[in-house]
Amino acid sequence: MMLAVVALAVGTVVAGVALTSRSVAPQLGVNAESASKANWAAQSASEYAVAALQTSLDLASLTDGAMMSDFTIAGAKVNVVVTDLDGNPPAGDATEVIVTVTATVNGIPSVKSTQVALTPPPTAPVAVDPYLSEFTLFGQQGVTIGATATVSKWTLSPEAKGSTPIKVGTGFANLASLNINAGARFRDTAMYVDADASASLRTALSDSRFAEGRQIKLDVPARMVSLPSTITSLASGGVQSFTYSTGSTIFPNGRKYSGSVMVQDGATLVLDASVSPAYSFMGITVNKSSKLIIRGDVDIEVNGSLYVLDRSLITVEPGGHADFYVRGNVYTERSSIGADPSVFDGSGCNPANLAAYADPGSIRILAPTSSYANQTFVADNRSFIVASIHMPATAFSTTNSTALAGRVSAKTINIGTGCRVYADTSLDNRNGYTNFEGALYDDSGNPLSGLTDIISGVLAVLNAGKTAEQFAAQINSTVNATIVAPPAPVDGTTARTARATSIINVPVDSMVLEKRATLVADGEADEESNTRTITVVSADAVR
């Protein structure tokens, strides 16, 4: 008897399901058609939005990033929102944005998210960066990356989610000068070799660990820098040396001293731009939990060596900038250049402790033309460097769990076992040697006429003494002479380009189709108006 009751119950349920399925089956077909229409509308709206981004549209003028609200495309209600990479309304000068399209037909949604890179038109003057900041790592004579070393984007960078790759570049010819351990790890990294690369070195471009590999058809001119007039005009201060062991002191004047500065035992020394825009010392040592603070925009000449030791710190106050021109060696141990005190733990620096972004471009460490032979930069024993380093005749190395956030160009680069490189691609101005669609190249991707001759002169005896700034000036002059101003806007269009770099389609869940069909069958579906049309961007602007 019990079995009969169970069988009856089961039969009733099965019959009910069958009847329900049969009653909603026609609506499921309608919903599938609606989903297809919604997908088509979302695709069309995405292409429309990318086209709109190539007009004179001011991104900052969009209210909460809304580009289209209840816009009608082929019967679908479409909403388009433009945000920065963190989901906030975009700035007017944003270089990458996210376009999110939601298209709805008969209650069935389709969502498409597109990451778009924006490139402004190449109007003069183009400023090629003489310090090669487009490269996170650029080795003039060698690059070594050790076992378990990692190269990845810095999560605190404003472009952490951007599509611009990390760039590793070489200025040498032979594969033997490139030593990348099999255990080294890269993320979103592109490898570039210059015009001198041998056939064997070019094989590294196919390393599967790199997202991209290309040869630059130019010799990349990694040159040392000239001193600014703020330093060369300093009056002599004599041979006096200075030691600070307690409290906080503002250095009293800006002069060229042949003595050194020692900051130790927890003391703080401030170099303040309101006192002098430049300072010059034979050497600087910051030791034993001490600080050297830069206030405002300051140039610092170090004719000897720069040491930061034993949980000490060189930092720039917000809004400031420091250029260190170092002729001697640089050595850090359990210390930081560029971070704030929160980075320290019991035995050194822990980058994970740094809660807020620090711009690596706010501290530049540069090698002037008269730097010492065999100059070295060693970041050792859990140090953390947040800086942009350009020292083309220097042997640069990180050892013992040290981290670099920023970038470096040097004679040789050695990223030691277990060390980390956190790239900040916001330092890349996109006008450099790796932008093959940029101002340095013609429409065929070849270097502009005359540019090769200028850059090849880097290796010539006649030009051997020229500085990075002088070469950049020559290159910029040649490039700017070839730039033709873009035509006047027509219907709001400009020469700005918008390129989709990644697309995410959110598929319609089959349960959505079934639920909608059931609601319709039960008479519970809400009527939905698809007739409201609010045009934020005129269709005429993107014809």
- Using pLDDT thresholds of 50, 70 and 90, give the confidence band for residue 533: very low
Q: What integer is the mean pLDDT of 330-351?
A: 96
- Using pLDDT thresholds of 50, 70 and 90, give the confidence band for residue 482: low
pLDDT (0 to 100) of residue 16: 41
Is 176 buried (19+), middle (13-18) or exposed (0-12) by CB count in 10 A?
Answer: exposed
Q: What integer is the mean pLDDT of 309-319?
A: 98
% residues pLDDT > 90 (the chain): 55
Q: Which residue has the higher pLDDT, 471 or 228?
A: 228
Q: What integer is the mean pLDDT of 468-474?
A: 76
Residues of the chain by 3-state class (helix, strand, coil), percent to 5:
25, 35, 40
Give tens-digit pLDDT for 109-149. Answer: 888 888 888 876 655 455 678 899 999 999 999 999 999 99
Please provide the average confidence, as pLDDT, over all residues in the chain: 84
**CA 437, CA 13: separation in Å to the nearest integer?**
65
- Using pLDDT thresholds of 50, 70 and 90, give the confidence band for residue 346: confident
% residues pLDDT > 70 (the chain): 78
- Parallel, antiparallel or unpaired: strands 189-193 and 242-244: unpaired
Q: Which of 166-175, 218-227, 343-352, 394-403 has the lowest mean pLDDT?
A: 218-227
- Using pLDDT thresholds of 50, 70 and 90, give the confidence band for residue 30: low
Backbone angles phi, psi at 202, to 5 degrees: -65, -20
Classify residue 235 by its DSSP letter: P
pLDDT (0 to 100) of residue 52: 84
Q: What integer is the mean pLDDT of 89-96?
A: 84
On whether the CB atoms of residues 135 and 409 are closer than 8 A, the answer is: yes
Q: What integer is the mean pLDDT of 218-233?
A: 91
**CA 42, CA 35: separation in Å to the nearest integer?**
10
On whether the CB atoms of residues 512 and 24 are closer than 8 A, the answer is: no
At 246, the amino acid letter reads T
pLDDT (0 to 100) of residue 493: 47
Task: Inform me whether the pLDDT recorded for 4 exceeds 50.
Answer: no
pLDDT (0 to 100) of residue 60: 84
- Using pLDDT thresholds of 50, 70 and 90, give the confidence band for residue 175: very high
Task: Inform me whether the pLDDT recorded for 28 exceeds 80.
Answer: no
pLDDT (0 to 100) of residue 496: 61
Q: Which of 18-32, 93-107, 191-205, 308-322 has the lowest mean pLDDT?
A: 18-32
Q: Which of 106-115, 201-210, 216-225, 460-469 has the lowest mean pLDDT?
A: 460-469
For 394, half-sphere exposure in the C-beta direction (CA atoms, 13 angstrom radius) is 33
pLDDT (0 to 100) of residue 448: 83
Q: Which of 195-199, 230-234, 428-432, 475-479 has the lowest mean pLDDT?
A: 475-479
Buried b (16+ CB within 10 A) or exposed e, 51-66: bbbbbebebeebeebe
Please, which residues bridge with residue 326 across strands? 302
Task: Inform me whether the pLDDT recorded for 17 exceeds 70.
Answer: no
> Which residue shows structure tokens 């039969």?
11
**CA 42, CA 48: separation in Å to the nearest integer?**
10
Q: What integer is the mean pLDDT of 237-262?
A: 97
**What is the DSSP secondary-structure string of 467-528?**
-HHHHHHHHHHHHHHHPPPPPPPBTTB-S-EEEEEEEEEEPPPHHHHHHHHHHHHTT-PPP-
Q: CB under 8 Å to 377, separation ≥6 — which residues? A: 329, 330, 331, 365, 389, 391, 394, 395, 396, 397, 410
**CA 131, CA 426: separation in Å to the nearest integer?**
14
Buried b (16+ CB within 10 A) or exposed e, 8-40: eeeeeeeeeeeeeeeebeebbebbeebbebbbb
Of 428, 371, 385, 362, the C-alpha closest to 227 is 371
Q: Which residue has the higher pLDDT, 543 or 238?
A: 238
pLDDT (0 to 100) of residue 540: 35
Task: Inform me whether the pLDDT recorded for 541 exceeds 80.
Answer: no
Q: Which residue has the higher pLDDT, 376 or 516?
A: 376
**CA 312, CA 334: separation in Å to the nearest integer?**
8
Kindly give the interhelix angle for 510-521 and 2-52, rounded to the nearest 10 degrees.
Answer: 110
Q: Which residue has the higher pLDDT, 471 or 534?
A: 471
Give tens-digit pLDDT for 33-70. Answer: 788 888 888 888 888 888 888 777 888 888 898 998 88
Q: Which of 12-26, 92-106, 340-354, 413-427 has the lowest mean pLDDT?
A: 12-26
**What are the domain boundaries of the chain?**
2-121+494-542, 126-225+390-481, 229-366
Q: What integer is the mean pLDDT of 23-41?
A: 71
Q: CB under 8 Å to 481, separation ≥6 — which residues? A: none
Q: Model pTM?
A: 0.78
For residue 381, give the H/E element and its range. none
Q: Which residue has the higher pLDDT, 465 or 255?
A: 255
Task: Give the CA dihedral 425, 428, 430, 434, nearest 10 degrees.
Answer: -90
- Using pLDDT thresholds of 50, 70 and 90, give the confidence band for residue 429: confident
pLDDT (0 to 100) of residue 495: 52
Q: What integer is the mean pLDDT of 250-260?
A: 97
Q: Which of 186-195, 448-457, 493-502 has the lowest mean pLDDT?
A: 493-502
